[in-house]
Chain A
Amino acid sequence: MTTLFATIATKAPLILATAEEGEAKAFSDGGILASGAWLIPVVPLVLAFLIVFFGKRSPLKGWGMAVTALGFVAVYGTVLFLMNLGEGITYEGAVWLADIGTTAFGTLSIEWGWMVDGLSIMMYFLVGVVGLLVFIYAKGYMEGDIRYTWFFASFTLFAGGMLVLVSAPNLIQLIVGWELVGVSSWLLIGHYWEDHENSSAAIKAFLTNKVGDAALFIGAIIVALTVGSFRFTDIMEVVASGGPDSPLATYAFWAGLALFIGAMGKSAQFPLHVWLPDAMAGPTPVSALMHAATMVTAGVYLIGRMFPFYLAHDFAADVRLIIILIGGATLFLMGLVALVQDDIKRVLAYSTVSQLGYMTAAMGAGAYTAGLFHLFTHAFFKGLLFLGAGSVIHAVHSNNMSDMGGLRKYMPYTFWTFVIGSLALAGIFPLAGFWSKDEILASLSYASGEFPAAEGGAGAANLVLALGIVGAFVTAFYMTRAVYLTFFGKYKGHGHPHESPRVMTYPLVGLAVGAAFAGLLNVPGVTDLFTKAVGARFVAVLDHHAESIDYTIAVLGGGAALLGILLGYRLFAKDAPTQLERDRFSIPVLYPLLRHKYYIDDFYMEGIIKPVRGPVARGVDWFNGHVIDFVINGAGILARAVGKVVYAFDQGAIDGAINASGAATSLWSGVLRRIQTGRVQQYATLIIAGTVLLVGGLVLFQQI
């Protein structure tokens, strides 16, 4: 295997170019559009609050405000995106909030700001446009929901949080957005919280993310204290100018690793992926947005934002070996799990995890453009697929493909758009997924020659390239299975399914257009619009990207996908009396392993969560009551026993001497006795004893 890919690798440098170092490009500052871009996160956030308070009384029950917010972002984002395609915009706005202390580099401050550059503009556009379509769709899907208004409030907050995250020019604000996304996802996943399972899924998502967040905190802390600033531009300046002796470089590996673990949480990388499939408990529009433009993209975005840091040899380049391997493991292992799911949303969920693995692997390989390009195209087709699945679920009232079949006839819009989405996801020429997946595979093969990380980097890149090609096959296979089981054969469910209302099908068509054509922004050798657009940064990102097509890779990748479709067709096209009989994929050993998701979820539950919540927590509580309090209660009881002895002595021997203070004591306690028990006298005695002790101390110290 190594030899096969080694030949590809030697060819790669001919067709991939690395942006030249120190390339000084003149970018536009974006004018008033950029300086006013703080509105992009603020409008949704403000409207989210307004929906909470006024949504129920408004004519559209909050949907109007929500869709206004996303419409605003979509328009603003599109204008910026088009402008950026033209000339490239870099702008950073900041408002000083407070100083929080000093570091070796001077005062450390926290700021609120907004970044308007190629990377964030791409995200504004994506969140705005995909989000708007999902929000429109949600009007139909959520009709009659018990918490309709509340849903749109949290959904708008979710989008707003994501926009805070991608607009952040500093790590603190990124963390704010990061956790806003986390908390609103918790609200949305647990939307139907009457059911214990749903609120558990929400907690699972929150806690898994929180594990990543803790690492993100540590990464941000290390970077901030070794640079003296939370600002990305300051950090990148250190990366660009600082050598191996700069303080940041000393800790760069740990900082890079910690930040990446944070990214793993949000972007659902193995082994922190477990929350994403369970996040299906939320309403389908949530899944659509969560898996497409928001939340799961945050991790990849963070690596993109910190990209020069990960690329520079003196800094976190070694972490990329870990990144590429984690990405490879995720894309391969989780793609396989998608094969055995019955729940159509779970097929798509595991597919998302797998596709995020591709993006991560690309980032690890040093291919900024490729990783982000796949993020971009994936947002369209995965959003489309989820909305399509939602449309199906809306029609048959079940998530399970075993209750579906034959829906092609009843739901033509849904069917055709779903097929386009599936083909795009499978990476079939010339749909969006083909171009972005090809770019990733090409960059992996390039990386195997150029990978700068520690020893074994080339081997890792080769291995991940192989996994990526096999993954392309697996992707095509499970999507074919999903399409056939859902739309072909005879309908096996209950009732009479029907096409969804137009408010739901139009967004499908809109996303299908994106899924078909988004890939044309970057066609190697023809156009590199996307590369240029996301390359508009203050500091050159220096990634490598394809400048002409590598036919070997294209044929391998595309061929694997075709093979997957062919096999899927062979296995699933034929109808059978039940869906279960149609679903003829069961390889011994592998099948049960996949059904149990490699036992990872079980391990977390039985191996970590339950012991911590059970024996460990109870042990600590026991210790509190039986050990610490034993000492304290014991001391108290002992003191009382001693007190009784002393009291007897007091009554017998020195009664007269204490009378003076005793009179005052009994007067006081006489007053208090009416509202309290008689014990106050004991405390008063104790206070007097304390005073004696103190006077003793006084005398003692005076001697020193």
Chain B
Amino acid sequence: MGWLENGWGLSLVVFLPLVGAGAVLAIPKANEQAQKMSALVFAGASFVLSVVLAFQFDYGRSMDFQFGTDLSWISAINSRYIIGLDGISLPLLVLSTFMTVLSIVYSWEHWPEPHNPKAFLSLILVLATGMAGTFVALDLILFFVFFEVVLLPMYFMIGIWGDRNQAKLPVFRRTIEMRLYASIKFFLFTLFGSAFMLLGFLALYFRSGNFNNGVNTFSMEVLSEIGRMGVWGGTFGFWVFAALFLGFAVKVPMFPFHTWLPDAHTAAPTVGSVLLAAILLKLGTYAFVRISIPILPDEAHSWAPAIGILAVIGIIYAALACLAQTDMKRLIAFSSVGHMGFVMLGIATLTDIGINAAIIGMVAHGVITGLLFFLAGSMSHRYHTREMARLGGNQKLMPIMGGILGFTAMASLGLPGLAGFWGEFMSLLAAFNPIDGLSDNLFRTLMVIGAVGTVLAAGYLLWMLQKVNFGEPGEEWASHTFHDVDGFEMAAWAPLIVTIIAIGIFPRIVFGATNDAVVSLVASAFGG
């Protein structure tokens, strides 16, 4: 199995979907069955391979990059094809291949208008390569490429298959089709952030030569070693961190850079929302852990209070915004901002507990909110509305759908015993004792406010369930017959339900991979 471990295995996980995209494009438009099958085969192969890697992974040294390779790529700027997998990226990589497969399964019989499975599937597959690539790239330029590759397919998914209702822009009194507004906003907002991020990368590159025998490098590992020496310099470090922060914070998204998210989620087709919530949001938080903290530890330390404050504002702000939503999908979208707030709070503590919390929080949010968007999509497909005031009595019309919605909402509000609990609880745990040098009082205040956020989160989810699931169905549905969950939906959702329970009662599925890696990351960055 040598080929599996010397970089080929990992490369295949990343690029098989891209090959699949090519294959789908090569199949004649009429032959939809073949397109679906080949998409599933390639995404499935990528997933299986990532699981095989997870089994081959040496958990005893999860702090080291495994299955990696280091090849010459763009020699002019010394950017190299460096990939590798450690305990931090492993769960996220598996999550991304897993969600891709489920998205394809779900899509089998659920095509948003204007149909065209061929284009849709190839976009999903390109997206899959971008997502997986981001989690394994260990070279900043390679990372940047994957990070940006993700943008285009999602842009087209929202722009073409998205919501065709008219949206009104407040203040400017313009109306624009929802899908256009949301897709442009998503694209430009993220691009705006990434431009600064790239600037930051370049700055690091040009500075790195000073500390690396005159060789400029984009290698994250080398840059981390330089970061450990603490030699970047105050002003330089500050601005570089600020640039990276802008790029990552938009992607997370953190308050106040989050406003693209509710629009994008609401307008996106179901699978688009699912992948957006489950994976795309994780690229930003992952980048904080993978790039910002190890390469710029001192700067991360001085920025941490600001990040923590923004994170907690995000938690409360999102919860309050959720309470005001009338559109179910938009409510779920806002809830993502709150959940990512907990993730960022964990990261801001700069402790191993906090970063562990962040990673399990990311995975949990991926499966839980992914499932919530699947459900919202299937329900609006049946009811042709997402207005919660018109739903109601869903539990009676579609008992299984209602039951799964109830279960997932419970998971989302952080019910202990289900996946969502760990990230939330542990980031509060970490906030009590942030790393040395950070203000205990500040973070403890943040902890208390964050805990209040869990109450608000319970509030909006319970009220959502009350509006959607409970009560008697409205008059307008009296003559309708509803098909409860169908086979493809079940096939896509059952694995998520199982995962939510499994991580909930046996969190070692995630911590087993992350803990040593995180402990070592924190120790080497902050000399803990």
| B residues near A632, Cβ cutoff 8 Å | 185, 189, 259-260
| B residues near A679, Cβ cutoff 8 Å | 180, 184
Query: In B39-67, which residues have CB < 8 Å from any A CB?
Result: none
| A residues near B447, Cβ cutoff 8 Å | 218, 221
Is there a chain A Cβ closer than 8 Å to B73's Cβ? no
Is there a chain B Cβ closer than 8 Å to A628's Cβ? yes
| A residues near B195, Cβ cutoff 8 Å | 690, 693-694
What is the distance, in angstroms, from B329's C-beta to the closest C-beta of chain A?
15
The answer on a CB contact under 8 Å between A180 and B416 is yes
| B residues near A176, Cβ cutoff 8 Å | 416-417, 421
Is there a chain A Cβ closer than 8 Å to B325's Cβ? yes
The answer on a CB contact under 8 Å between B428 and A217 is yes
Interface string of B401-424 (1 = CB under 8 A from A): 000000000100001110001100
Choose from A194, A225, A612, A633 the contact partner of B433 (Cβ within 8 Å).
Answer: A225
| A residues near B160, Cβ cutoff 8 Å | 675-676
The answer on a CB contact under 8 Å between B430 and A101 is yes
The answer on a CB contact under 8 Å between A221 and B202 is no
CA distance A210 to B170 in the complex (A): 36
Is there a chain A Cβ closer than 8 Å to B482's Cβ? no
CA distance A331 to B455 in the complex (A): 27
Question: Which of A195-203, A236-244, A432-440 is the contact stretch?
Answer: A195-203
The answer on a CB contact under 8 Å between B430 and A612 is no
Interface string of B441-452 (1 = CB under 8 A from A): 000000110011
Between B172, B393, B396, B506, the greatest number of chain A beta carbons within 10 A of the residue's beta carbon is seen for: B172
Interface string of A181-194 (1 = CB under 8 A from B): 00100100010011
The answer on a CB contact under 8 Å between B515 and A99 is yes
The answer on a CB contact under 8 Å between A102 and B466 is no
Is there a chain B Cβ closer than 8 Å to A596's Cβ? no
Choose from B189, B321, B511 the contact partner of A617 (Cβ within 8 Å).
Answer: B321
The answer on a CB contact under 8 Å between B356 and A101 is yes
Query: In A689-704, which residues have CB < 8 Å from any B CB?
Result: 690, 693-694, 697-698, 701-702, 704
Question: Which of B1-9, B100-108, B456-464 is the contact stretch?
Answer: B456-464
Q: Please, which residue of chain A has its CB at the minimum distance from the CB of B187? A: A683
CA distance A98 to B321 in the complex (A): 35
What is the distance, in angstroms, from B206's C-beta to the closest C-beta of chain A?
5
Is there a chain A Cβ closer than 8 Å to B310's Cβ? no
Interface string of A96-110 (1 = CB under 8 A from B): 011111111000101
Between B170, B207, B393, the greatest number of chain A beta carbons within 10 A of the residue's beta carbon is seen for: B170
Q: Please, which residue of chain A has its CB at the minimum distance from the CB of B240? A: A701
Between B421, B429, B506, the greatest number of chain A beta carbons within 10 A of the residue's beta carbon is seen for: B429
Is there a chain B Cβ closer than 8 Å to A605's Cβ? no
The answer on a CB contact under 8 Å between B191 and A686 is yes
Query: In B168-212, which residues have CB < 8 Å from any A CB?
Result: 169-172, 180, 184-185, 187-189, 191, 195, 198-199, 202-203, 206-207
User: How many B residues face the partner with a CB closer than 8 A?
Assistant: 81
Is there a chain A Cβ closer than 8 Å to B425's Cβ? yes
Q: A178-B416, A217-B428, A676-B156 are in contact. Are A98 and B512 (CB under 8 A)?
A: yes
Query: In A617-654, which residues have CB < 8 Å from any B CB?
Result: 617-618, 620-621, 624-626, 628-630, 632-634, 636-637
Interface string of B134-170 (1 = CB under 8 A from A): 0000000000000000000000100110000000011
Is there a chain A Cβ closer than 8 Å to B119's Cβ? yes
Is there a chain A Cβ closer than 8 Å to B303's Cβ? no
Q: Please, which residue of chain B has its CB at the minimum distance from the CB of A206? A: B462
CA distance A101 to B469 in the complex (A): 39
| B residues near A102, Cβ cutoff 8 Å | 352-353, 519, 528
Is there a chain B Cβ closer than 8 Å to A496's Cβ? no
The answer on a CB contact under 8 Å between B470 and A194 is yes
| B residues near A687, Cβ cutoff 8 Å | 191
Between A110, A210, A222, the greatest number of chain B beta carbons within 10 A of the residue's beta carbon is seen for: A210
Interface string of A21-33 (1 = CB under 8 A from B): 0000000000000
The answer on a CB contact under 8 Å between B471 and A193 is yes
The answer on a CB contact under 8 Å between A203 and B466 is yes
| A residues near B262, Cβ cutoff 8 Å | 624
CA distance A603 to B396 in the complex (A): 34
| B residues near A476, Cβ cutoff 8 Å | none
| A residues near B507, Cβ cutoff 8 Å | 97-98, 100, 110
Is there a chain B Cβ closer than 8 Å to A175's Cβ? yes
Is there a chain A Cβ closer than 8 Å to B508's Cβ? yes
Is there a chain A Cβ closer than 8 Å to B395's Cβ? yes
| A residues near B351, Cβ cutoff 8 Å | 101
CA distance A215 to B191 in the complex (A): 41
Q: Please, which residue of chain A has its CB at the minimum distance from the CB of B402? A: A193
Is there a chain A Cβ closer than 8 Å to B518's Cβ? yes
Interface string of A307-345 (1 = CB under 8 A from B): 000000000000000000000000000000000000000
| A residues near B171, Cβ cutoff 8 Å | 626, 630, 633-634
Is there a chain A Cβ closer than 8 Å to B317's Cβ? yes
| B residues near A98, Cβ cutoff 8 Å | 506-508, 511-512, 515
| A residues near B448, Cβ cutoff 8 Å | 218
CA distance A702 to B352 in the complex (A): 36
The answer on a CB contact under 8 Å between B462 and A207 is yes
Is there a chain B Cβ closer than 8 Å to A17's Cβ? no
The answer on a CB contact under 8 Å between A207 and B455 is yes
| A residues near B512, Cβ cutoff 8 Å | 98
CA distance A701 to B208 in the complex (A): 12
What is the distance, in angstroms, from A622's C-beta to the closest C-beta of chain B?
8
What is the distance, in angstroms, from A226's C-beta to the closest C-beta of chain B?
9
The answer on a CB contact under 8 Å between A675 and B170 is no
Q: A207-B459, A225-B432, A701-B206 are in contact. Are A625 and B416 (CB under 8 A)?
A: no
CA distance A96 to B306 in the complex (A): 36
Is there a chain A Cβ closer than 8 Å to B472's Cβ? yes
CA distance A688 to B311 in the complex (A): 33
| B residues near A675, Cβ cutoff 8 Å | 119, 156, 160
The answer on a CB contact under 8 Å between A694 and B455 is no
What is the distance, in angstroms, from B133's C-beta to the closest C-beta of chain A?
20
Is there a chain B Cβ closer than 8 Å to A9's Cβ? no
Q: Please, which residue of chain A has its CB at the minimum distance from the CB of B325? A: A621
Q: Please, which residue of chain B has its CB at the minimum distance from the CB of A682? A: B184
The answer on a CB contact under 8 Å between A214 and B452 is yes
Is there a chain A Cβ closer than 8 Å to B426's Cβ? yes
The answer on a CB contact under 8 Å between A199 and B470 is yes
CA distance A683 to B472 in the complex (A): 48
Between B259, B357, B422, B472, the greatest number of chain A beta carbons within 10 A of the residue's beta carbon is seen for: B259
Between A100, A200, A616, A633, the greatest number of chain B beta carbons within 10 A of the residue's beta carbon is seen for: A100
Choose from B207, B322, B356, B462 the contact partner of A100 (Cβ within 8 Å).
Answer: B356
CA distance A103 to B463 in the complex (A): 38
| A residues near B189, Cβ cutoff 8 Å | 632
Is there a chain A Cβ closer than 8 Å to B30's Cβ? no
| B residues near A180, Cβ cutoff 8 Å | 415-417
Choose from B180, B321, B425, B433 the contact partner of A620 (Cβ within 8 Å).
Answer: B321
The answer on a CB contact under 8 Å between A677 and B320 is no
CA distance A653 to B443 in the complex (A): 57
The answer on a CB contact under 8 Å between B415 and A183 is yes
Is there a chain B Cβ closer than 8 Å to A503's Cβ? no
Q: Please, which residue of chain A has its CB at the minimum distance from the CB of B236? A: A704
What is the distance, in angstroms, from B477's C-beta to the closest C-beta of chain A?
15
| 14 pairs from A and B in contact (CB 8 Å cutoff) | A97-B506, A100-B353, A102-B519, A172-B416, A175-B425, A179-B416, A193-B470, A199-B470, A225-B433, A612-B320, A612-B456, A617-B321, A617-B324, A694-B198
The 9 closest A-B pairs by CB, nearest first: A101-B353, A617-B323, A621-B324, A98-B508, A617-B324, A98-B511, A193-B470, A101-B352, A214-B451
Beyond A101-B426, A194-B393, A632-B189, 9 additional contacts (C-beta under 8 Å) are A98-B512, A100-B357, A102-B353, A190-B470, A637-B172, A683-B188, A686-B191, A694-B198, A704-B206
The residues of A with any CB-CB pair to B shorter than 8 Å are 97-104, 108, 110, 172, 175-176, 178-180, 183, 186, 190, 193-196, 199-200, 203, 206-207, 210-211, 213-215, 217-218, 221-222, 224-225, 612-613, 616-618, 620-621, 624-626, 628-630, 632-634, 636-637, 675-677, 679, 683, 686-687, 690, 693-694, 697-698, 701-702, 704
